Amino acid sequence: MPLYVHKYGGTSVGSIERIRHISAQIKVAKEAGDNIIVVVSAMVGETNRLVSLCNSFELNDDLAMREQDAVLASGEQAAAGLTTLALAEIGVRARSFTGLQAGIITDSTHGKARIVDIDTSPLRTALGAGDVPVVAGFQGATASGSIATLGRGGSDTTAVALAAAMAADECRIFTDVDGIYTTDPRICDKARLLPSITLEEMLEMASLGSKVLQTRAVEFAGKYRVPLRVLSSMHANSCGTLVHYKENIMEQPIVTGIAFNRDEAKITLIGVPDRPGIARCILRAVADVNINVDMIVQNIGSDGYTDFSFTVHRSDYETAMRVMQHTATDISAGSVVGNANIVKVSVVGIGMKSHTGVASTMFQALAEKDINIQMISTSEVKISTVIDEQYLETAVRVLHDAFELDKGVHEDK
Ligand code: ADP
Ligand code: ASP
Ligand code: MG
Q: How far apart are CA 412 and CA 158, in angstroms?
A: 40
- pLDDT, one tens digit per residue, over 73-103 is 999 999 999 999 999 999 999 999 999 999 9
The last residue of one of the domains, among 176, 209, 244, is: 176
Ligand (nearest to CA of 80): 2
Question: What total of structural domains would you count in the chain?
Answer: 2
Ligand 2 atom nearest to CA at 214:
8
Q: Which of 5, 25, 44 is nearest to 230 (CA)?
A: 5
- Residue whose CA is at the smallest distance from ligand 2 atom 5: 153
Same domain, 162 and 280: no
The H or E element that residue 260 is part of is: strand 257-273
pLDDT in the model for residue 213: 97
Task: Express as a percent the part of the chain with pLDDT over 90.
Answer: 88
Pocket of ligand 1 (CB under 6 A): 9-12, 41, 153, 175-177, 180-181, 183-186, 205, 210-212, 257
Which neighbouring-strand residues pair with 141? 105, 147
- In this structure, the dihedral spanned by the alpha carbons of residues 344, 349, 352 and 354, taken in order and rounded to 10 degrees, is 160
- Cβ count within 10 A of residue 404: 13
DSSP string, 131-199: -EEEEESSEEEETTS-EEE--TTTHHHHHHHHHHHTT-SEEEEEESSSS-BSS-TTT-TT--B-SEEEH
The last residue of one of the domains, among 161, 176, 191, is: 176
- pLDDT, one tens digit per residue, over 143-173 is 999 999 999 999 999 999 999 999 999 999 9
pLDDT in the model for residue 249: 60
Same domain, 17 and 163: yes
Same domain, 34 and 152: yes
Q: How confident is the model at residue 322 (pLDDT cuts 50, 70, 90)?
A: very high
Whether 218 is in a domain gets the answer no
- pLDDT, one tens digit per residue, over 184-221 is 999 999 999 999 999 999 999 999 999 999 999 999 99
- Residue whose CA is at the smallest distance from ligand 1 atom 23: 183
Ligand (nearest to CA of 78): 2
Same domain, 135 and 17: yes
Query: How far is the centre of ligand 1, averaged over its atoms, from the C-alpha of 155 (Å)?
Result: 13
- Ligand 1 pocket test, pick from 212, 232, 243, 263 with the greatest ligand atom count within 8 Å of Cβ, gives 212
Whether 205 is in a domain gets the answer no
- Mean pLDDT (the chain) is 94
Poorest-pLDDT segment among 60-64, 222-226, 292-296: 60-64
pLDDT in the model for residue 412: 37
Residue 250 pLDDT exceeds 70:
no
Query: How far is the centre of ligand 2, averaged over its atoms, from the C-alpha of 76 (Å)?
Result: 8
Q: What mean pLDDT is predicted for residues 359-381?
A: 95
Query: Could you tell me how far CA 63 lies from the centroid of its own chain?
Result: 26
Whether 110 is in a domain gets the answer yes
pLDDT in the model for residue 353: 82
> Model's pTM, two decimal places?
0.93
DSSP string, 315-341: GGHHHHHHHHHHHHHHTT-SEEEEEEE
Same domain, 318 and 169: no
Same domain, 138 and 263: no
The angle that helices 392-402 and 358-368 make with each other, rounded to 10 degrees, is: 130
- Residue whose CA is at the smallest distance from ligand 1 atom 9: 212
Same domain, 11 and 149: yes
Same domain, 27 and 145: yes
- pLDDT, one tens digit per residue, over 21-78 is 999 999 999 999 999 999 999 999 999 999 999 999 988 788 999 999 999 999 999 9
Same domain, 120 and 25: yes
What CATH number is attached to the domain comprising 50?
A: 3.40.1160.10
Whether 341 is in a domain gets the answer yes
Residue 270 pLDDT exceeds 70:
yes
236 Cβ contact list (under 8 Å, min separation 6): 25, 28
Query: How far is the centre of ligand 3, averaged over its atoms, from the C-alpha of 205 (Å)?
Result: 14
Ligand (nearest to CA of 139): 2
- Ligand 2 pocket test, pick from 38, 47, 83 with the greatest ligand atom count within 8 Å of Cβ, gives 47
pLDDT in the model for residue 79: 98
Pocket of ligand 2 (CB under 6 A): 9-10, 41-42, 47, 75, 137-138, 152-156
Ligand 1 atom nearest to CA at 180:
24
- Residue whose CA is at the smallest distance from ligand 1 atom 5: 212
Ligand (nearest to CA of 211): 1
Whether 247 is in a domain gets the answer no
Poorest-pLDDT segment among 178-192, 230-244, 249-263, 298-312: 249-263
Q: Which of 259, 231, 228 is nearest to 244 (CA)?
A: 228
pLDDT in the model for residue 351: 85
Query: How far is the centre of ligand 2, averaged over its atoms, from the C-alpha of 118 (Å)?
Result: 20
Ligand (nearest to CA of 42): 2
The last residue of one of the domains, among 154, 176, 198, is: 176
pLDDT in the model for residue 410: 42
Same domain, 8 and 104: yes
Whether 26 is in a domain gets the answer yes
Poorest-pLDDT segment among 73-87, 103-117, 124-138, 287-301: 287-301
pLDDT in the model for residue 411: 39
The parent domain of residue 380 ranges over: 258-407
Query: How far is the centre of ligand 3, averaged over its atoms, from the C-alpha of 213 (Å)?
Result: 6
Q: Which of 152, 148, 128, 166 is nearest to 6 (CA)?
A: 166
- Residue whose CA is at the smallest distance from ligand 2 atom 8: 153
Whether 184 is in a domain gets the answer no
Q: How far apart are CA 342 and CA 294, in angstroms?
A: 13
Task: Express as a percent the part of the chain with pLDDT over 70.
Answer: 98
Same domain, 287 and 160: no
User: At 41, which amino acid appears?
Assistant: S
pLDDT in the model for residue 408: 78
What CATH number is attached to the domain comprising 388?
A: 3.30.2130.10
Whether 304 is in a domain gets the answer yes
Q: How confident is the model at residue 413 (pLDDT cuts 50, 70, 90)?
A: very low
Residue 224 pLDDT exceeds 90:
yes
pLDDT in the model for residue 251: 62
